[in-house]
């Protein structure tokens, strides 16, 4: 199994990234603040930054390190990538399959079924851990509804039906999401999902975590030679990483939602760590963002046993493993794509 | 795995000084300088072989020496630090 390497997060607004030999340098006012060998890294993520030298970009392309730029609020702005890597035959199969309605729907069903089961697992976890404080009836009802959905999904014959069931599941899940928050309930109210801009703190947190996750999924897909822009469930749209969004669906509950809930329930972040703008948009403060990134990095190093491979891997490698399994399915080595299930 | 690399390069001649600089440069490429002429490198076996080869083609075995200490992948409980020049943990959270 591939090794999970580290990701460097640069949140200093006036940091300049450069390179020296095989080292990545972070400079502030021309003074070297940090130096790390590039072979220890798998990605560099910059938030609202002063610049990066072309030579560093060159080094990142050469070594396959994903260099992403996010604005200071965590919105994805762009990424430096080298040559399109991997197998052209694999990508061709991907395009053909994306055009094939039947195959697209079959794969969409896999992604969404896993998402629904994993969402249900998140609700189940709340019921188990905080059974005394949550509204058991509402949660049990939602869980029962969610449990029935994969069966309906199997009968779905076109993309719109799949998207319909997904929407229904998401509504059911997010309308119960406020129950998962057991401490700081007043500071973190949430009733349903909203974005662009997120209008409450939980939504701001979720949006940020989803951005981080999509960065990793896109990089993982690219590293196995798939095109992150051509999806099966999400249709093509310029600039949209459709396949990354597809594969992300099944990972959202366990990777992002659980982490958001944990951060709030353990009081690692607080109400004061968010800024509400005049237009109602909620954004994170720098400290909160750092706290979230730190927990995200720690989370990625937790070891789990992958349900399909039955092998112990760090959580951060799961996007890579899923990308690999999808590529194997496209190559015909696997009968079907096994999505990621978490109990 | 983490490899600790220390070296002694004879600097009484100009050639020696140039060797010292070149050795240091290679070590910086692969790891972090924790003290003068002491480096901690987090490398895989291939990268280590590469580094070793590079270093050994620079030094003069009659006057200089290199020492490698292998701390394995479970190195965190084998290293303790006291005093100034605290390094970073290459497997920990890297955020600036």
Residue A58: is its pLDDT beyond 70? yes
Residue-wise pLDDT tens digits, A201-254: 888 888 889 888 888 888 788 777 788 888 888 777 776 788 888 889 888 888
**H helix count then E strand count, chain B:** 2, 5
Residue B80: is its pLDDT beyond 80? yes
Confidence (pLDDT) at B49? 92
* Interval B37-42 mean pLDDT: 90
Count Cβ atoms below 10 Å from residue B87 Cβ, excluding itself: 13
> In angstroms, what CA-CA distances link A22 with A58, A158, B26?
11, 50, 9
The ranges assigned to domains in chain B are 2-72
Min Cα distance A55 → chain B (Å) is 15
Interface test with B, best of A12, A18, A39, A43 (most B CBs within 10 A): A39
Confidence (pLDDT) at B5? 92
* CATH of region B2-72, choose from 2.40.37.10, 3.30.365.10, 3.30.70.240, 3.40.50.720: 3.30.70.240
Residue-wise pLDDT tens digits, A139-198: 888 888 888 888 888 887 887 888 888 888 888 888 888 888 878 777 777 777 777 778
The pair of three-digit structure tokens given for residue A119, joined into one six-digit string: 């969402």
Name which of A3, A26, A36 is nearest B90 (Cβ-Cβ).
A36
Using an 8 Å CB-CB cutoff, list chain A residues near B89.
none
Using an 8 Å CB-CB cutoff, list chain A residues near B44.
3
Using an 8 Å CB-CB cutoff, list chain A residues near B85.
none
User: Where would I find the H helices in chain A?
Assistant: 54-63, 88-99, 101-129, 136-155, 159-175, 201-223, 242-251, 258-265, 286-301, 318-331
Q: What angle do CA A22, A26, A27 make, to 5 degrees?
A: 120
Name which of A21, A34, A39 is nearest B25 (Cβ-Cβ).
A21
Residue A48: is its pLDDT beyond 80? no
Min Cα distance A303 → chain B (Å) is 14
A166 marked as part of a ligand binding site: yes
Mean pLDDT of chain A: 82
Using an 8 Å CB-CB cutoff, list chain B residues near A3.
44
Confidence (pLDDT) at B68? 92
Confidence (pLDDT) at B53? 92
Domains and CATH numbers, chain A: 6-80 (3.100.10.20), 89-331 (1.20.120.920)
Backbone angles phi, psi at A316, to 5 degrees: -65, -15
Min Cα distance A11 → chain B (Å) is 6
The upper half-sphere exposure of residue B38, i.e. CA atoms within 13 Å in the direction of its Cβ, equals: 6
Interface test with A, best of B29, B49, B93 (most A CBs within 10 A): B93
Residue-wise pLDDT tens digits, A76-132: 777 777 665 667 888 888 888 888 888 888 888 888 888 888 888 888 888 888 777
Interface confidence: ipTM more than 0.85: no
Is the bond into A168 cis (omega within 30 degrees of 0)?
no
d(CA A138, CA A220): 37
Min Cα distance A37 → chain B (Å) is 6
Confidence (pLDDT) at A1? 64
DSSP code per residue over A13-36: TTEEEEEETTEEEEEETTEEEEEE
């Amino acid at each position: 199994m591939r090794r999970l390497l580290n990701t460097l997060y640069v949140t200093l607004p006036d940091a300049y990234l450069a390179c020296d030999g095989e080292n990545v340098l972070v400079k502030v006012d021309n003074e070297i603040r940090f130096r790390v060998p590039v072979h220890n890294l798998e990605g560099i993520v910059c938030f609202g930054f002063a610049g990066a030298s072309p030579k560093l970009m060159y080094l990142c392309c050469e070594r396959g390190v994903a260099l992403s730029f996010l604005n200071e609020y965590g919105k994805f702005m762009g990424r430096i990538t080298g040559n399109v890597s991997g197998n052209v035959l694999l990508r061709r199969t991907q395009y053909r399959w994306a055009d094939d309605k039947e195959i697209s729907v079959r794969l969409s069903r896999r992604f969404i079924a896993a998402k629904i089961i994993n969402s249900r697992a998140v609700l189940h976890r709340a019921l188990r851990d905080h059974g005394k404080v949550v509204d058991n009836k509402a949660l049990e009802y939602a869980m029962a509804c969610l449990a029935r959905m994969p069966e309906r999904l199997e009968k779905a014959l076109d993309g719109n039906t799949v998207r319909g069931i997904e929407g229904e599941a998401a509504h059911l899940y997010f309308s119960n999401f406020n129950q998962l928050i057991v401490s700081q309930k007043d500071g973190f109210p949430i009733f349903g999902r909203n974005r662009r801009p997120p209008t409450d703190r939980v939504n701001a947190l979720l949006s940020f975590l989803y951005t981080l996750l999509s960065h990793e999924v896109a990089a993982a897909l690219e590293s196995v030679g798939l095109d992150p822009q051509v999806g099966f469930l999400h249709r093509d749209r310029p600039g949209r990483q459709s396949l990354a969004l597809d594969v992300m669906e099944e990972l959202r509950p366990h990777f992002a939602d659980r982490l958001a809930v944990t951060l709030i329930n353990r009081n690692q972040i607080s109400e004061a760590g968010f800024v509400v703008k005049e237009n109602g948009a909620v954004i994170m403060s720098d400290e909160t963002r750092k706290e979230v990134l730190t927990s995200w990095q720690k989370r990625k190093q937790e070891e789990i046993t992958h349900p399909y491979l039955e092998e112990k891997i760090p959580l951060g490698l799961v996007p890579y493993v899923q990308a690999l399994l999808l590529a194997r399915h496209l190559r015909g080595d696997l009968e079907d794509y096994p999505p990621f299930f978490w109990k | 795995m983490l490899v600790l690399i220390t070296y002694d390069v004879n600097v009484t001649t100009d050639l020696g000084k140039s060797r010292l600089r070149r050795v240091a440069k290679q070590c910086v490429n692969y790891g972090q300088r924790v003290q003068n002429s002491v480096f901690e490198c987090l490398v895989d076996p291939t990268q280590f072989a590469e580094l070793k080869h590079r270093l050994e083609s620079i030094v003069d075995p009659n006057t200089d020496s290199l020492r490698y200490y292998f701390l394995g992948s479970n190195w965190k409980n084998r290293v303790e630090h006291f005093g100034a020049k605290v390094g970073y943990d290459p497997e920990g959270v890297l955020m600036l």
